[in-house]
Chains A and B, each alone.
Chain A
Amino acid sequence: MPREGILVNNPLERLSGEQVRQIHDASIEILNDPGLLCFNKKAAEIFQSHGAEVTSVSDSDTPCWHVRIPERLVTDALDSAPKTVTLGARNPDNALIMKGDEPRVFFITGSETNTWLDVDFPTYVNKSDPRKEIKVPEFQPRRSTVADLCDSAHVCEHLETVDGYIRTVNIQDKDINEDNKDVNKFFACLNNTTKHVMSGLTSLNQLDNVVKMAELVAGGPDKLKENPLISFITCLVKSPLQFVDDTTETFMEVCKRGLPIVVSSSPQAGTSAPIKEAGIMAQINAEVLAGLTLGQLVNRGTPVLYGSVPVRARMDTLGDSYGSIETSQYNIDCVQMARFYKIPNYSTSGVCDTKMPGQQSSIERLFSDIVVTLSGPQFLHCAFGLLDGNSVFCLLQAVLDDAHFQMIKFFLKSPRINEQELDTVKKQIKEVVATPQKMFINYIRPVMRSGEISPPYPFEGDGDSDSVFALANERLQELRARPVEHIDPDTTARIFREIPGLLPRLNVYKGER
């Protein structure tokens, strides 16, 4: 049985049907005029061979083509793109089945950060009264390593609400280079979680090694097709409206292999997209449709996710403001657009602007986590543990996020109101009003044990002081101590024999065989 996710009844929608249609029409118009700049020759040729108007841009420093995509190609692509996408998993019970017209949400980690935050709890003594001591969490940033990636995947394997895993940190060890990063990144993830693994690709020349590794884990090429336990994400269209050479190349190669891929676009309202909601929506939708169309032209039927990472610019720095309210609005709009096309949506929430776990972090992420979840995206890249936009990762924050999503999942349970329930409670009410004390406490007990009552916040302290971080840290250590089901020894040996570039220290059976 695949993972259930959480089905959102009556998903939150911001756009009227007419507004959705207006955005679609504007996007179609944008794809034709002004069209896109394409820095990848093969992609330009593919568009041209299918009837798009393609002209060489003569005044560009690098080879570049101007591509006008006709509506017909987009419509064909939307027809052929699968409406259901399955993301497999090493443990088939962790597979994710995403239907474009069903608002069933799966919570997934990511993105890739360069900084890892360690947490410690040093003791501080009150200067005026040395008998008074408190422990205060301190966060120390450092460059992330492959060991951190293993640690993160291991903990996320045990976080109940994490449905799938996007690598959370960039591996920056001294012995990691461009040619071995992808295989080590994928192996670290696959070996430490049995959930679905998604990642971007650093070097296209490593794609075949990564796919072969996945085939070995899945049990062969056919098994990988049945159970695609890895998938990819590419930002092939740089905003505004430019097919980037290398990621477009990677995207097309992944499409040829038929593995699931996210067509992601991340415009920033105010700089790389218009500041107005209508503008960023028309543009991001055009960018995703352009990528999706290319994918279907390369390999008709290739499974794609409508990937949306829109963000508003900060007015003080013009950097990304993931914590802004508009960012959530754009994401919810994108969920609606994807649902309009019946293509499963990759959406974003939970990314905050602050660098450290704390009140701002909790407020920003919980706000977007709630509202974007309510809109019903299928693949919610919900930034477990991410801070400072996309640049810092903290496992303690990921544990706190898990508690947020438990609350959100509980909230989204269907109402338990039907004739039978009403008959039962009418009887209870009659019985209780006839008693002297008039209390319903006796009826709590069976309900309490049935899971129908939401649990208390798991990091609630004694009420006299805030011990959330300390209790979450205890939980983190407990999760770290739990074993994880690694890839079996024989497969591991084969992977290390057949896939070049893997770091020997990642072999957990090293020395045993």
Chain B
Amino acid sequence: MSGDIIESIKENVIQGRVTRDDEGIDEGMVGQPGVTELIKEALASGVGVSDIINRGLTASMTVVGQKFENEEYYIPDMLASAEAVGAAMELLEPYMAQSGIKPKGKILIATVKGDLHDIGKNIVSILLRGTGYLVKDLGNDVETKDIVEAVREEKPDFLGLSALLTSTMVNMEATIKALAENGLRNKVKIIIGGAPVSEEYAESIGADGYGADGFHAISVIEALNSGDSVAS
């Protein structure tokens, strides 16, 4: 039973199906349980959280990664699978502590003040959730003081800042300065991303890392999380 349902979870992550309404890739899947329904069923049946995560979610994302490498999958497929894993992790979160499982880390993410563009930030959020991070999305056009307050309250491991405009990217620097003024700068790793910014800019404003795209952002965070250098 446990094996069957974990296999089903794995298959549905690979198909990128969050709920029974999702199409997936193969035909005729609409109406069959998706990852959300399967996780609930697994938990109700007493399947171990670590089994679900390790043999179901992590194993399936390995397959998805291979398919992406082989150009069988494209970024929308990766995102769909990551979204399915993110939905699963949300359901599993209340059970993780009692199972002795810790999330990889906690991340706050925001598009800075004055900027309404959030596609990149949303993609990074989905990918981070799919990789096993707890993500709190603060939204877009977020006031600097609100970001500072959220860092103080949530105590995240990472803060992701996004901007698309040359006129708003300066608010990344303002945010970092405000965190420093509030004694919070050394309590959180900061990575930035967005079309107008660069590795050099990240360095110049005192960020810890720069993500050129969603996948690069994940690898930078993973490197920071393991204590490795993020130098590219």
Chain A residues within 8 Å of B, Cβ to Cβ? 436-439, 441-442, 444-446, 448-449
| Contact, CB under 8 Å: B80 / A437 | no
A445 in contact with B126 given A436-B137, A439-B119 (CB within 8 Å): no
| Contact, CB under 8 Å: B125 / A437 | yes
A445 in contact with B25 given A437-B122, A437-B126, A439-B119 (CB within 8 Å): yes
Identify the closest chain A residue to B25 (Cβ).
Answer: A445
Contact residues in B for A437 (Cβ distance below 8 Å)? 118, 122, 125-126, 137
Identify the closest chain A residue to B15 (Cβ).
Answer: A445
B76, CB-defined interface residue at 8 Å: yes
Contact residues in B for A444 (Cβ distance below 8 Å)? 76
CA distance A168 to B150 in the complex (A): 70
A448 in contact with B74 given A436-B137, A439-B119 (CB within 8 Å): yes
Chain B residues within 8 Å of A, Cβ to Cβ? 16, 22-23, 25, 74, 76-77, 79-80, 83, 118-119, 122-123, 125-126, 137
| Contact, CB under 8 Å: A445 / B137 | no
Contact residues in B for A445 (Cβ distance below 8 Å)? 16, 23, 25, 76-77, 80
| Contact, CB under 8 Å: B122 / A448 | no
Contact residues in A for B125 (Cβ distance below 8 Å)? 437
CA distance A129 to B23 in the complex (A): 55
A441 in contact with B137 given A446-B23, A448-B74, A449-B25 (CB within 8 Å): no
Identify the closest chain B residue to A449 (Cβ).
Answer: B25
CA distance A442 to B25 in the complex (A): 11
CA distance A143 to B125 in the complex (A): 61
The contact of B22 among A438, A439, A442, by CB within 8 Å, is A442
| Contact, CB under 8 Å: A439 / B122 | yes
A442 in contact with B137 given A437-B122, A448-B74, A449-B25 (CB within 8 Å): no
Identify the closest chain B residue to A444 (Cβ).
Answer: B76
Identify the closest chain A residue to B18 (Cβ).
Answer: A442
Give 5 CB contacts A-B under 8 Å. Answer: A438-B118, A441-B123, A442-B79, A445-B23, A446-B23
CA distance A499 to B23 in the complex (A): 61
A448 in contact with B137 given A437-B125, A442-B22 (CB within 8 Å): no
Shortest CB distance A474–B (Å) = 16
CA distance A401 to B207 in the complex (A): 47
Shortest CB distance A450–B (Å) = 12
Q: A437-B118, A441-B79 are in contact. List 16 more A-B contacts (CB 8 A).
A: A436-B137, A437-B125, A437-B126, A437-B137, A439-B119, A441-B76, A441-B123, A442-B76, A442-B79, A444-B76, A445-B16, A445-B23, A445-B25, A445-B80, A446-B23, A448-B74
